[in-house]
């Protein structure tokens, strides 16, 4: 008798719980899914057909293995995930990546795409990227690495995506010496760009017109971009004075060009990493002009060209300094004493010295 009663009680409880879950609106269920990690979302989508549908419709971020056989699966993938706004397409070095046909098909299914990351998609050409740009004009962030398209494809993006705010380019194989004949930018995107990051590029100077034309640019990062950057950096620093962050690493640039950074009066964060020509002259000029500096990272690469003279100028002219990182720099207690004495008593500076 008691066993029968217990069974009936459990049935009532199970029924009540299932009713609560079933009565949840799709919007609430979608909010729950969005707070879960990717793995948990996948498991939840297997519970029932309704959860499968809601999970797919509420997923905004998607990362796909961009091998060539992805083409046949694109219609079914984006029929389920029809609200994707952030997409990553990655292919390893030993595989054949998607081609233009796949990228164009994706652009037709994802008209509301705002972020795109392309990694190792070596089969994409300028033509395919150009069609994609025309179909996805709302793009706000583009990151591409180890791809093979070149200046024409990049210009197509800049000419069509008027809302582009962030651009990150690394090892773009299509930009070679011949690309100097076709500069990149500025295009309609120049009016909205806030961040530009260039890494490991040969002839990256062809991005000069884009950087110079981006009057609202806030952050510029140049890593291991080969060739002479003297003229370009001087022009950039003289014309794009709204930047608050500059990161230069292993660039061929002279002291004079570095000193031009002092024209960026709003500069708050500066990284000078392994710039062999950087001396006290450049550091003093920057400190005297960019007085709002809060974070300063210097890797002198043990060239012995930066010493107390430059660091004392930072202490005297940059009262807002909060973070100072020094690597391979000839600093002594003299410069640290000036930095400590010149800053307001309420200001605490974090110093890392290697």
Instruction: Convert the pLDDT of each residue in 57-106 to its tens digit.
Output: 778 889 999 999 999 999 999 998 888 999 999 999 999 999 999 999 99
Taking the CB of residue 52, how many other CB atoms lie within 10 A of it? 14
On whether the CB atoms of residues 155 and 183 are closer than 8 A, the answer is no
As a whole number of angstroms, the distance between CA 104 and CA 134 comes to 10
As a whole number of angstroms, the distance between CA 291 and CA 131 comes to 45
- 36-53 mean pLDDT: 76
Taking the CB of residue 14, how many other CB atoms lie within 10 A of it? 10
Output the pLDDT for position 1: 45
| Three-state secondary-structure class, residue 71 | helix
Beta bridge partners of 141: 115, 166
Instruction: Convert the pLDDT of each residue in 176-226 to its tens digit.
Output: 765 456 899 899 999 999 999 999 998 899 999 999 999 999 999 999 999
Tell which residue, 300, 266, 294, has the closest CA to residue 283: 300
Output the pLDDT for position 348: 61
Output the pLDDT for position 341: 79
Q: Among 143-147, 174-178, 235-239, which stretch is predicted with the lowest mean pLDDT?
A: 174-178
34: Cβ–Cβ under 8 A, 6 or more apart, which residues? 58, 60
- 246-254 mean pLDDT: 95
On whether the CB atoms of residues 258 and 222 are closer than 8 A, the answer is no
pTM of the model: 0.86
Read off the pLDDT band of 347 (50, 70, 90).
low
What is the sign, positive or negative, of the torsion defined by CA atoms of 15, 19, 22, 24?
Answer: negative
Output the pLDDT for position 182: 84
Output the pLDDT for position 2: 45
The token pair that represents 24 in the structure block: 């949840």
Chain centroid, CA 104 distance in Å: 23
């Amino acid at each position: 008798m008691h066993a029968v009663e217990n069974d009936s009680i459990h049935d009532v409880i199970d029924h009540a719980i299932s009713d609560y879950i079933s009565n949840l609106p799709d919007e609430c269920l979608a909010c729950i899914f969005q707070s879960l990690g990717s793995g948990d979302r996948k498991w939840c989508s297997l519970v029932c057909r309704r959860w499968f549908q809601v999970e797919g419709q509420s997923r905004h971020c998607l990362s796909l293995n961009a091998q060539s056989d992805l083409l046949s699966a694109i219609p079914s993938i984006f029929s389920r995930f029809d609200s994707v706004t952030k997409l990553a397409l990655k292919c390893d070095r030993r595989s054949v990546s998607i081609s233009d046909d796949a990228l164009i098909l994706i652009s037709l299914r994802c008209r509301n795409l705002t972020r795109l990351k392309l990694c190792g998609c070596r089969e994409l050409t300028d033509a395919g990227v150009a069609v994609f740009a025309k179909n996805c004009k709302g793009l706000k962030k583009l990151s591409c690495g180890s791809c093979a398209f070149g200046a024409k494809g990049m210009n197509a993006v800049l000419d069509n995506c008027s809302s582009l705010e962030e651009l990150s380019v690394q090892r773009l194989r299509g930009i070679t010496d011949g690309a100097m004949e076709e500069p990149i930018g500025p295009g309609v995107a120049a009016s909205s760009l806030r961040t530009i990051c260039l890494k490991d590029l040969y002839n990256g100077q062809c991005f000069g017109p884009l950087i110079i034309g981006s009057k609202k640019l806030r952050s510029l990062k140049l890593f291991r971009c080969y060739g002479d950057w003297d003229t370009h950096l001087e022009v950039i620093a003289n014309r794009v004075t709204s930047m608050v962050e500059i990161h230069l690493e292993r660039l061929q640039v002279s002291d004079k060009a570095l000193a031009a950074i002092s024209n960026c009066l709003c500069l708050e964060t500066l990284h000078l990493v392994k710039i062999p020509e950087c001396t006290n002259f450049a550091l003093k000029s920057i400190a005297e002009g960019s007085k709002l500096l809060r974070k300063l990272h210097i890797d002198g690469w043990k060239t012995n060209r930066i010493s107390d003279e430059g660091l004392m100028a930072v202490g005297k002219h940059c009262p807002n300094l909060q973070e100072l990182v020094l690597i391979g720099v000839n600093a002594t207690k003299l410069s640290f004493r000036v930095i400590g004495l010149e800053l307001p008593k309420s200001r605490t500076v974090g110093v890392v010295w290697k």
